[in-house]
Structure 1
Amino acid sequence: MRSTPRTEAFPAHTPAAAQIFTTVLSHGPLTRSDMAGRAGLSAAAVTKAVRPLIEAGYLVEEAGDEARPALGRPANSVRVDGGRALFIGVKVTGDEIIALLTDLCCRIRVARHVPLRGREPQPVLTAVADLVQELLAEADGFGVQVQGIGVAVSGDVDRAAGEVRLSPFLEWRDLPLGELVEMTTGLPVTVDNDVRALTVAEQWFGAGVGLSDFAVVTVGAGIGCGLVVHGKVVSGAHGVAGEIGHVVIDPTGPLCHCGNRGCAEAIAADPAIVAAVRDATGLPVADAAQAVELARRGDPGAREVYARAGDAIGRAIATVANLMGPERVIISGEGLAAYDLFAEQIRDAFAASAFGTAARCDLLTRPLAFDEWARGAAATAIQSFIGGPPHGTG
């Protein structure tokens, strides 16, 4: 076992510094006047926030081709030095663990995938600790310290406490995951819901850059949703904001694992689709890939199951649009492998259910590999490191 890694503190733990840093991270390089305009801060506040970040090497000032003002100094741009620090992002799925080493700009430097050999917490913790040690050894080659770990899992996660309250797919309940990972690795750990972590990455580096209000809806093993309202990822007062998978679409529909009937997840998540295709066809359909193959071959029962799933997803997305009025909904998740089978139903149901101008919301499909979810976990670790408020309560 390696010695406990050394970490350092971000040089300016103030809301203004965190805001300026994340603004440059997402939109940079920027001049100071651009920073002030985007962040809504005064020139003096920007100067005060930027100075210690430049002195510590987190921001770098460079004289580029910026237009020179008529009077005064040239408007030099400022960018984040991505190589100044490293972070680890871990995504735990139902059957594998993905761990990434990223730089401060969340660019992936090293990726590791290992199969999940058991869902009990102890083997998962052991595998995570082993992966972290591998990535710390890789970090030595870059000559830069790893400053934190982000871990993303599905379910009800209390980020502030670092606790997984309930993860149905992993069968975890009341697990102090952050504390346990920190004990085994010696590094600061941030634990968050996987869809919210993905939403942070989309807000900073993906299809949500520059948007004040948007949502990420994921389709696959479950139906998840991350919300950004007024520029903040929303977790809600109890940490479960965005659980559209448990919006009831059909009160007489199939039983959901939450105890209700007809939830979007009970109709449109991969396990529900597989079960419904099995019932509709009488065939021993083993997994989503076989269900997709049947539907693409034209089996009427399988096609009807996917049509019903698309309708449920579209109505669930319309609920999000009606409640928060986002500029965009980004649709992602492993379930997009079957998108051609229910895309039309998603859009038709959304158009029929969205109220008024909510229907103007841009629906963007964006397939993202699980590496991107692990990258989201690293983004939450960066977020914790710079000291910005992780989420709003909405």
Structure 2
Amino acid sequence: MASSSAPSSAASTAETFPAGTPAAAQIFTTVLSQGPLTRLELARRAGLSAAAVTKAVRPLIEAGYLVEDADTEARPALGRPANLVRVDGGRALFLGLKLTGDQVFGVLTDLRCRTLLARHAPLSDRVPKAVLASTAEMVRELLTEADGYGVRVVGLGIAVSGDVDRAEGVVRYSPFLEWREVPLAELATAVTGLPATVDNDVRALTVAEQWFGAGVGLSDFAVVTVGAGVGCGLVVHGEVVAGAHGVAGEIGHVTVDPNGPPCHCGNRGCVEAIAADPAILARIREAGGAEADSIDEAVALARAGDAHAREAYSRAGEAIGRGIATVANLLGPERVVISGEGLAAYDLFADQIRSAFAAAAFGSAARCELETRPLPFEEWARGAAATAIQSFITEPNRP
């Protein structure tokens, strides 16, 4: 790419996180997601000794990533008040991008993943060269505005739908972008000058929910997204699970009706083949109902009482509920967060999701809490920023 893609002065390619050990990264992550905490409480939650906490906290305080304040609200009867350790969110900035089939959404966040700026722009073309050009332009714009904060931008996260190998930074296959084997992390770093983390969009959203959202403090939960596709991010024993081949959590391709419609994956009756937006539109057309050329028109028809549209949403809700029950039966999560752009029509299939889940969940798996969180694409970009924050903390020596 041309040299005009170079980052502004807000960017840094040299900033590294002063976590010399995995324990230090674990302690910082605990404070980041659950703090402020006293050192005693931090040791308990991290499962480490007080001495280990003190050793790990010292360089993080010296570098300005952690701050220790007196807890004036919990003053003991005798002696000094306990000190609370917290993250200085303004110590570093991050960028997050969410790529869809036709747009790029970008955010600037602080170290605590609080969104400071949000932008979006159309994609002129889906070929990698055009997307990289749009990506570079979005990054330049955000870096220019980041200059006003006087803090370095130290990482970039990019969220893409499909099969994404985060370790290699490669998009193996993205159906909406029609990409195969694109080394996006390497290319993005080249055009922006920022260390780039690339991950599946649902897993990125799951990282944000784990550290900063509905999954804080939970060791086992899932995020299920509905809309143009059906995805699932899994957290098991406190870790976001990608699986041996990076496709863990693909409930969109769990068969819930062997006689159902064909799916683009080659099987029949997958959750996505019944409940994704294109499947709902196809169902309405096949049933001979009123014409619906977009999902907004399908929603309007269903809310107006169109029988075919309502049946399509009812069927979609049942498929989603069965898919969530499969996750609950296999992994026993404490909570499933339901999100995605499809939640705009949640009133049309909420009852079916919950009733199908209750019918298919086995035993105590039915105790799993279902929570809905409508999140716009800017929040998915924030998820990408969360992956950049995660990489910055846990991979301090990466290029």
Query: TM-score, normalization: structure 1?
Result: 0.96
- The Cα shift of 1:72 comes to 6.0
What is residue 193 of structure 2 aligned with on the other side?
186
- The Cα shift of 1:69 comes to 4.8
What is residue 54 of structure 2 aligned with on the other side?
47
Q: Aligned pair 1:318/2:325, yes or no? A: yes
What is residue 287 of structure 1 aligned with on the other side?
294
- 3-state SS of paired residue (1:281): coil
How far apart are the structure 2 equivalents of 1:13 and 1:270?
47
Q: Aligned pair 1:127/2:139, yes or no? A: no
Q: Aligned pair 1:108/2:115, yes or no? A: yes
User: Which of 224, 248, 253 is 1:246 aligned to?
Assistant: 253
CA change 1:69–1:167 in 2 (3 A) is same
| 2:7 and 2:143 in contact (8 A); partners too | no
Q: Which runs of 4+ in 1 moved over 2 A?
A: 1-7, 66-74, 281-284
- The Cα shift of 1:110 comes to 1.2
| 1:328 and 1:361 in contact (8 A); partners too | yes
Q: Aligned pair 1:357/2:398, yes or no? A: no
- The Cα shift of 1:281 comes to 2.9
User: Which of 92, 106, 126 is 1:85 aligned to?
Assistant: 92
User: Which of 229, 236, 240 is 1:233 aligned to?
Assistant: 240
Give 2:371's aligned amino acid.
Answer: L
Task: Describe how 1:318-337 pairs up with structure 2 within 5 A.
Answer: 318-337=325-344
Query: TM-score, normalization: structure 2?
Result: 0.95
What is residue 159 of structure 1 aligned with on the other side?
166
How far apart are the structure 2 equivalents of 1:273 and 1:67?
55
What is residue 96 of structure 1 aligned with on the other side?
103
Higher mean alpha-carbon deviation, 69-78 vs 51-60, is at 69-78
- 3-state SS of paired residue (1:221): coil
How far apart are the structure 2 equivalents of 1:324 and 1:20?
26
Task: Show CA shifts across 1:308-338 (max 9, x none).
Answer: 1100000000000000000000000000111
- The Cα shift of 1:280 comes to 1.4
CA change 1:49–1:70 in 2 (3 A) is farther
What 5-or-longer segments of structure 2 have no aligned partner? none
How far apart are the structure 2 equivalents of 1:376 and 1:17?
23
How far apart are the structure 1 equivalents of 2:7 and 2:261?
52
- The Cα shift of 1:296 comes to 1.0
Give 2:90's aligned amino acid.
Answer: G
| 1:66 and 1:76 in contact (8 A); partners too | no
How far apart are the structure 2 equivalents of 1:373 and 1:13?
30
How far apart are the structure 2 equivalents of 1:214 and 1:230?
9
What is residue 392 of structure 1 aligned with on the other side?
none
How far apart are the structure 2 equivalents of 1:306 and 1:240?
27
How far apart are the structure 1 equivalents of 2:381 and 2:46?
28
What 5-or-longer segments of structure 1 have no aligned partner? 390-394
Aligned-pair identity in percent equals 74
| 2:7 and 2:140 in contact (8 A); partners too | no
User: Which of 72, 95, 107 is 1:65 aligned to?
Assistant: 72
User: Which of 212, 217, 224 is 1:210 aligned to?
Assistant: 217
- The Cα shift of 1:38 comes to 1.0
User: Which of 75, 81, 94 is 2:82 aligned to?
Assistant: 75
Q: Aligned pair 1:168/2:201, yes or no? A: no
Higher mean alpha-carbon deviation, 150-159 vs 57-66, is at 57-66
CA change 1:13–1:381 in 2 (3 A) is farther
What is residue 306 of structure 1 aligned with on the other side?
313
Give 1:293's aligned amino acid.
Answer: A
What is residue 40 of structure 2 aligned with on the other side?
33
Give 2:255's aligned amino acid.
Answer: V
What is residue 343 of structure 1 aligned with on the other side?
350
Give 1:127's aligned amino acid.
Answer: S
| 1:226 and 1:233 in contact (8 A); partners too | yes
- The Cα shift of 1:282 comes to 4.3
| 1:281 and 1:302 in contact (8 A); partners too | no
How far apart are the structure 2 equivalents of 1:368 and 1:110?
16
- The Cα shift of 1:283 comes to 3.5
| 1:68 and 1:74 in contact (8 A); partners too | yes
- 3-state SS of paired residue (2:74): coil
Aligned length: 389
User: Which of 144, 153, 156 is 1:137 aligned to?
Assistant: 144
- The Cα shift of 1:70 comes to 6.2
- The Cα shift of 1:74 comes to 3.3
User: Which of 218, 228, 244 is 1:221 aligned to?
Assistant: 228
How far apart are the structure 2 equivalents of 1:44 and 1:229?
28
